[in-house]
Structure 1
Amino acid sequence: NKEIYLKIRQKIKYIMIDEYQDTNYIQERIAFRLSQPDYNLCVVGDEDQALYRFRGATVRNILEFPKHFDDCKIIKLEKNYRSHPKIISAYSNFINSVNWRDENKNYYRYPDKKVIPAETTESQEYPAIFCIWGADKKDEVDRIVNLVEFLKKNGTIKDYSDVAILLKSVRLNHSGHYINAFKKHNIPYFCPRARAYFENEEIKLLLACYAIIFGFYAKDLNRYEEKKYIEEGIHHLGKYLNSALKDYLRRKADQILSLREGESLNLTVSDYFYQILAYKPFSDFLKDENKARNFSIFSQLLNAFQVYYHISIVTFKNKDVIKYLLFNSFFNFLIQGGMDEYEDPDNPVPKGFVQIMTIHQSKGLEFPVVIVGSLHKIFQAQKQIDRDLTEFYPRGRFEPENRITEFDRTRHFYVAFSRAQKLLVLTTPEKPKEYFSPIWEGLEQWPYVKRELLKAQKFKSKPPFIPKKFYSLSSHINVYETCPMQYLFYREYKFQPSRAGQILFGTLVHQTIEDIHRMVLDGKKREIDEIEIEKFFEENYKSLLATGLRPLAKTPKESALKQVITYFKQNQDLLERIVETEVDVSVEKEDYIIVGKVDLLLGKDEKLEILDFKTQPRADYDDLLIEKYRKQLCLYAYIIKERYGKMPERLYIYWTSEERRKDALMELNYNEDLIQEAGLHFDNVVKKIKERKFDVRIKPDVNKVCKDCDFRFYCSMQGIIKFKGDW
């Protein structure tokens, strides 16, 4: 698209690309095209750390980069500031042991490449690299446990997270013996990608509850491939089957059994989940963050089930269909494939846990102590991707196919070995493969090393870089102020709401009004009529349903369309003054970033106005809601001033459910003091969030705040609110 290309190109003067060894042919073409005609292009990379062939990446891009330009400047980054000199020497020997040329003398690694310790690197004399060669898996893990306990007890490491075990794969058949050993010796570990989600007790308990509610037992269970998960769940449930939970499960199972032709229950598959969470032991599990996050994943799975199979509420007609699809198809597929547990993308190395991760995961990370396993396993390279892509690449293949396994294996383990800062340990329960001999041969074995020298060391780890968090004015600040508990579950833990009709309604109105504004900005205002608006509306509706939101009933859907058309008809003058729509705004604070979106920016006579849409009925000026919106718009005004160099003249809320414009358009007074006050207010709210103050101290209005909240059952059982309902 030439138009889009020119728009992007005009905004870019310099391009910098990191990890260039992991780019593919198409990405290279895009980079070259965007950098034309000046080619102010800087790439950084290391072909020795190329790991992403399975994504179509090729080291050709970095090796041949200088050939594309007449005056390409090459800067060699040879000093290693990370690792002990002995470790650098060891992994350099390993990678240099491979012949990186083919019979035609083509190089697949920069020749004469070297890595040297930086002058500032500490190099005390102690055993910085050794091995563990167990007689079997038990002997191997016993020695690893002994090593970790030795390092922690003697203060050589300060925190368990200073130790990382790197493996080719962390599925349970690769990592299970390490995990079991750490459990046995009470050493905390973190291995979210072991695909062991369904091994957790709380998840087995949930599976058991669903099996009881939908009657998936007896003959059904006997024929079920993964019945052990449900059987174990039912066994564990016996420990917790207090009368309240027992009565609930029996009652819900009876309701489904007693359904007759044409009857239905006003309950979704997800509704049962949120009701179950109200009862012990699940309500206790919710207070444990790891278990709560596992529950959140379960809520997302149930939502995916409902969307994929187009199931809304439980009926006589679909009750058996739900049962068999849920267990024989959905859960069966997930259990057999395995699922990862929660992992914080902003903090992949949480404190207090030995890290067990794949070598791919460790890319870009570093640890005082690195233990590398999988040395006895056969390494399989992803050759097929090269074969599949060859016909699409005009330049053909690069590396010889018969050398790919050797090249990729060497790069893979070079990455693993080079993650170590102070101590590198190679571990195996049997003889390692011969190709590791350049780094393995001659190594001392734990525990037969100079332990006193190691004991005297005090390894220091760098604090992890955790980026500033983003807090949205609408979806974070406002939610927390409405209910801290809702913030914890929906925003922090990301539980998937069971029913989201109000979310669909508001988003549908907003998106369709935005379509009108964009047509106006594109100079197509005359093309807009009710037929065109209805077309936008239906397209948006279909797109939103595809995300998993539940369909609107006929009346609310008609009401949503009416709100949009009424707005269009009554605001022709406003449409003439549009400056920008859906303006992304942000303010960077000392320890967080506030973001928001201005629905509409209006302008006339060099003056700016902000307009924000709300789909609910107009609130009174003295309503607390208005004060909340005023603070939000005040902050928007401050950001707009920073961007455009002038303060907006007016702030408006437009209540789209009002039929008359004079009722819909509400002006909010503001001044510099209010802007300052709003900024301090948001600082205070974010401070509470960061300090994890999620207790509900002021009881919310049950009819307004709690009526449609999935956690109303939980909060009611906890005594936070009094909710009356049939559940």
Structure 2
Amino acid sequence: MDFDEYIRIAESILGHVISKEQRDIVQHADGPLWIIAGPGSGKSEVLVLRTLKLIFVDSVNPKSIIITTFTEKAAKNLFNRILNYYVEMLSTQPEYANVDIYGLRIGTLHSLCNDIMLDYKCPEYENYRLLDDIEQTLYIYEHSNFVKSTNNLYLPLCIRLDYLFDQFDPITGSRGWSNHERLPNRWRRCKGAVSLFNRIVEDNIDLDLLSAANDPWNILLNAYNEYVESLEENRRCDFAHLQEKFLNFLNSPLGTLFLQGDRSDAHPGIRHLMVDEYQDTNPIQEAIYFKIAEIDHNICVVGDDDQALYRFRGGTVECMVNFDRKCEQQYGLHFDYDRWQKFLSKNYRSHEGIVTYYNQYITSFELMRMEGARVNGKPLLRAESSIIGDYPSVAFITGQTIEDTANKFASFVRDLLNNDIIQNPNQCALLMKSVKESPRNAFHFAEALRNIGIVPYNPRSRTFLDQIEITSALGAFISIVDPGMDALQSVRGDEINKKVHEWVGSCETLLQENQNLRNYVNSSIESIRNKPRDTWIDVSILDIFYRILSHEPYITWKDDPERSYRLGKLSSLFEAYSSIPLPHVPGSNRGFLKTSSEIDGKISLSWRIQFYYSLMGLLVSAGINDPENETEISPIDRLPIMTVHQAKGLEFDFVFVYGLNQDVKQESTISLENDLAQFRRNPSISRFNGLQKSEQDLIRFYFVAYSRAKYALIHLVPKNHFKNGKLGFIDKNTREFKNIVRKLEA
């Protein structure tokens, strides 16, 4: 099949003509490909068409193509689209039926690293347990000497990096770390350790440079090395070290076989790599990608520097902005901009007024016009949507207070429904920085919606621990393993004590209405009471937890999707805690219970105290989100309240944005990035200081929010938020904002 024939078939499937800028990308042959794709420009469609072009026109073995995405959901959606197009093409091109489309490697980089190393039986990764974020946090809490230490060995490091311990701590109910003569509390150090250990890997830090530095960097290196040694001893691997192991694999003989192949169908080698959402790539991922494409230089990156959001996960927009320089540095190429750089600048999503507005917004800041802030030569977006109409596509609603503004917002949504402008609440979305249902964030907006009969959908409201199915299940478990909460008396932490008493009280209320559950709890307490001291109990904590859920009302609650999701997440948390090995005892885990060596009929006091500090401390300190159904954005009859990060990649008919009053302050993630920059294997070439990076990140944050809207973008601005110098307004100028944006009387 030649290219022209392929395009004719593709256009007949799509039902529209492929634009010239899209066609140029699809037709690209070999060599690097740098695609800067603005919001709503059809980048997913281009990735699908380019993948199938490689297979149908260029006869590339699907096993020789790797496509990485930012989320598993995006990977699944992308593969389904490729599969659907492939099936459609087979109806007119049956000779391609022997193509194994399932041979494509599509997924997040983490999932691909895991799968490829398992496929190739990488000795450095076989029989390892991969820790998710929760398990890693619990593991570090239990195994890191930096976290467990009670002496001041690590105090100089904490003082040097004090910004890591300056956040609000739910366990103590305080903000900051006031007494620098003592270590921060254990949970604060745990969160700091997670950030430090991950960033050492993600920023591709040279440990030799770190070793050659003076204290406190030597202290950090020792803490990090102890953590890595512990992981290896217990055959555990976190997501950051998964990438490091994969990079080492690529440089091994097995990795050479994977990359170069041996001309067999099992090992055809890798010929093409495509990376989606490249603007959120971190330095070690960049190193992996350039290693994968080392042979043919067929690395295609797709993204938008204006939509970089994930610096807190190690992502650095530098990778996207300086892709051309990296190609020249890594491969010794003279970058051919005419052939290798492509812009997708037609927006097929939004009303022209919205596109004009966020073009004005992103270019109104001098900081975004400076060299290195954005990709050079980037054109403005052009509106190509079929959405038209002479109405205020960009507007604002204001009230005297947050509560007043929220009520006007809810009334406006009700009017949209009553006038059949929208048919369902989920055609709208409310976007904000934090969706916690507190008075300064989502509370008033959620209440205003409820008051007019619209139920908000807000799985990240941090109300997981307030739900009856969660509180009662935790209370039942605690009642069994620590009847009377004896061990809790030894636990320092007012918030842990408060929550545990609430959970046990919730359980006692439930037991009065459910005789079978009460019988199980009482019989379990009695069974443990009859055990002699220093004896292993024949049930694990998972057994106890699952038996609690096998009684009413949990059986009925499992039929409720939301309650079922929550109980499933709580089960996962118990499983994660159960899997944590005891320090210096490889092969052990926290899931097995033993009676006290000193008292008959009691679970080990040290186990109970550690359980409160560790798992219960995690629940209290982390503010667990509700689990989210990845198959749907929001139930059709509910209005989603989302963070901008949640909304990334999505679109809604009406988008409401709250919180246009952000001050610029240097984020701790940027402070850590700057502090570690001196030790990177590939030094940063950014010319911006920490405050400038923070401001750029906030500007991009609002750009992502504004570009989600299709028909209308509506700002929600209480009167006291109209202050010059705040982010969210064009050029941080509220007068300019009011000149451009129309006020709605709701």
Question: What one-letter code is carried by the residue in structure 1 that aligns with 2:495?
Answer: E
Match of 1:18 among 271, 276, 291: 276
- Aligned: 1:431 with 2:721: yes
Match of 2:446 among 175, 179, 185: 179
Match of 2:127 in 1: none
Match of 1:141 in 2: 406
Match of 1:151 in 2: 416
Match of 1:252 among 524, 541, 545: 524
RCO higher in 1 or 2 (8 Å CA, sep ≥ 6)?
2
Question: What one-letter code is carried by the residue in structure 1 that aligns with 2:280?
Answer: D
Deviations 1:549-591 (A, max 9, x none): xxxxxxxxxxxxxxxxxxxxxxxxxxxxxxxxxxxxxxxxxxx
How far apart are the structure 2 equivalents of 1:397 and 1:158?
A: 50
How far apart are the structure 1 equivalents of 2:260 and 2:308?
A: 29
Q: Tell me, yes or no, if the aligned pair for 2:402 and 2:444 is still in contact at 8 Å.
A: yes
* Compared CA separation, residues 63 and 325, structure 1 to 2 (3 A): closer
Unaligned runs of 5+ in 1: 450-727
- Aligned: 1:285 with 2:557: yes
Question: What one-letter code is carried by the residue in structure 2 that aligns with 1:188?
Answer: V
Match of 1:31 in 2: 289
Secondary structure class of the residue paired with 1:75: strand
- Aligned: 1:365 with 2:635: no
Question: What one-letter code is carried by the residue in structure 1 that aligns with 2:415?
Answer: F
Deviations 1:308-350 (A, max 9, x none): 2534554432614343333343213322221122123343444
Match of 1:167 in 2: 432
* Compared CA separation, residues 132 and 445, structure 1 to 2 (3 A): farther
Secondary structure class of the residue paired with 1:226: helix
CA drift of 1:353 comes to: 2.5
CA drift of 1:298 comes to: 1.9
Q: How does 1:333-348 map to 2 (within 5 A)?
A: 333-348=618-633
Match of 2:75 in 1: none
TM normalised by structure 2 equals 0.55
How far apart are the structure 2 equivalents of 1:311 and 1:258?
A: 22
Question: What one-letter code is carried by the residue in structure 1 that aligns with 2:512?
Answer: L
- Aligned: 1:448 with 2:734: no
Deviations 1:387-431 (A, max 9, x none): 313431444331311421221111111011001111111123431
* Compared CA separation, residues 388 and 212, structure 1 to 2 (3 A): same
Secondary structure class of the residue paired with 2:355: helix
Secondary structure class of the residue paired with 1:441: helix
Match of 1:496 in 2: none
How far apart are the structure 2 equivalents of 1:221 and 1:396?
A: 48
Match of 1:454 in 2: none
How far apart are the structure 1 equivalents of 2:411 and 2:302?
A: 40
How far apart are the structure 1 equivalents of 2:289 and 2:613?
A: 47
Question: What one-letter code is carried by the residue in structure 1 that aligns with 2:551?
Answer: Y
CA drift of 1:270 comes to: 2.2
CA drift of 1:81 comes to: 0.7
CA drift of 1:79 comes to: 1.3
How far apart are the structure 2 equivalents of 1:98 and 1:177?
A: 32
Question: What one-letter code is carried by the residue in structure 2 that aligns with 1:436?
Answer: G
* Compared CA separation, residues 36 and 394, structure 1 to 2 (3 A): closer
* Compared CA separation, residues 109 and 208, structure 1 to 2 (3 A): same
CA drift of 1:132 comes to: 2.5
Match of 1:226 in 2: 496
Match of 1:115 among 360, 377, 381: 381
Deviations 1:619-663 (A, max 9, x none): xxxxxxxxxxxxxxxxxxxxxxxxxxxxxxxxxxxxxxxxxxxxx
Match of 1:413 in 2: 702
How far apart are the structure 2 equivalents of 1:255 and 1:159?
A: 53
How far apart are the structure 2 equivalents of 1:339 and 1:95?
A: 34
Q: How many residues align?
A: 447
Question: What one-letter code is carried by the residue in structure 2 that aligns with 1:198?
Answer: L
Secondary structure class of the residue paired with 2:697: helix
Match of 1:77 among 336, 344, 349: 344
Match of 1:609 in 2: none
Question: What one-letter code is carried by the residue in structure 2 that aligns with 1:141?
Answer: A
Deviations 1:96-138 (A, max 9, x none): 11124788x66644346211111x4221122222112232232
How far apart are the structure 2 equivalents of 1:102 and 1:89?
A: 17
Match of 2:545 in 1: 273
- Aligned: 1:44 with 2:339: no
* Compared CA separation, residues 251 and 59, structure 1 to 2 (3 A): closer
Question: What one-letter code is carried by the residue in structure 2 that aligns with 1:93?
Answer: Q
Secondary structure class of the residue paired with 1:319: coil
Q: Tell me, yes or no, if the aligned pair for 2:428 and 2:654 is still in contact at 8 Å.
A: yes
Deviations 1:334-377 (A, max 9, x none): 22221122123343444333222221222111111111122224
Question: What one-letter code is carried by the residue in structure 2 that aligns with 1:145?
Answer: A
Task: Identify which range, 139-148 or 324-333, moves more after superposition.
Answer: 324-333
Q: Tell me, yes or no, if the aligned pair for 1:166 and 1:356 is still in contact at 8 Å.
A: yes
CA RMSD of aligned residues (A): 3.0
Deviations 1:478-523 (A, max 9, x none): xxxxxxxxxxxxxxxxxxxxxxxxxxxxxxxxxxxxxxxxxxxxxx
Q: How does 1:271-350 map to 2 (within 5 A)?
A: 271-308=543-580, 310-317=589-596, 319-321=603-605, 322-350=607-635
Question: What one-letter code is carried by the residue in structure 2 that aligns with 1:64?
Answer: N
How far apart are the structure 1 equivalents of 2:486 and 2:742?
A: 54
Unaligned runs of 5+ in 2: 1-250, 262-268, 329-333, 583-588, 597-601, 731-735
Match of 1:194 among 461, 468, 485: 461
How far apart are the structure 1 equivalents of 2:653 and 2:486?
A: 54
CA drift of 1:444 comes to: 6.2
CA drift of 1:264 comes to: 5.4
Question: What one-letter code is carried by the residue in structure 1 that aligns with 2:323?
Answer: F
Match of 2:223 in 1: none
* Compared CA separation, residues 186 and 274, structure 1 to 2 (3 A): farther
* Compared CA separation, residues 9 and 220, structure 1 to 2 (3 A): same
Secondary structure class of the residue paired with 1:426: strand
Secondary structure class of the residue paired with 1:424: strand
Q: Tell me, yes or no, if the aligned pair for 1:48 and 1:109 is still in contact at 8 Å.
A: no
How far apart are the structure 2 equivalents of 1:379 and 1:229?
A: 35
* Compared CA separation, residues 278 and 32, structure 1 to 2 (3 A): closer
Larger radius of gyration: 1
Q: Tell me, yes or no, if the aligned pair for 1:240 and 1:280 is still in contact at 8 Å.
A: no
How far apart are the structure 1 equivalents of 2:517 and 2:257?
A: 63
How far apart are the structure 2 equivalents of 1:102 and 1:84?
A: 25
Q: How does 1:674-689 map to 2 (within 5 A)?
A: none
CA drift of 1:268 comes to: 2.1
Deviations 1:261-313 (A, max 9, x none): 35554222222222222332222212212112211222222223333253455
Secondary structure class of the residue paired with 1:293: helix
Secondary structure class of the residue paired with 1:267: strand
Q: Tell me, yes or no, if the aligned pair for 1:100 and 1:109 is still in contact at 8 Å.
A: no
* Compared CA separation, residues 433 and 397, structure 1 to 2 (3 A): farther
- Aligned: 1:205 with 2:472: yes
Q: Tell me, yes or no, if the aligned pair for 1:359 and 1:415 is still in contact at 8 Å.
A: yes
How far apart are the structure 2 equivalents of 1:251 and 1:412?
A: 54
How far apart are the structure 2 equivalents of 1:424 and 1:158?
A: 18
Secondary structure class of the residue paired with 2:676: helix
Deviations 1:41-61 (A, max 9, x none): 333222111223334433333
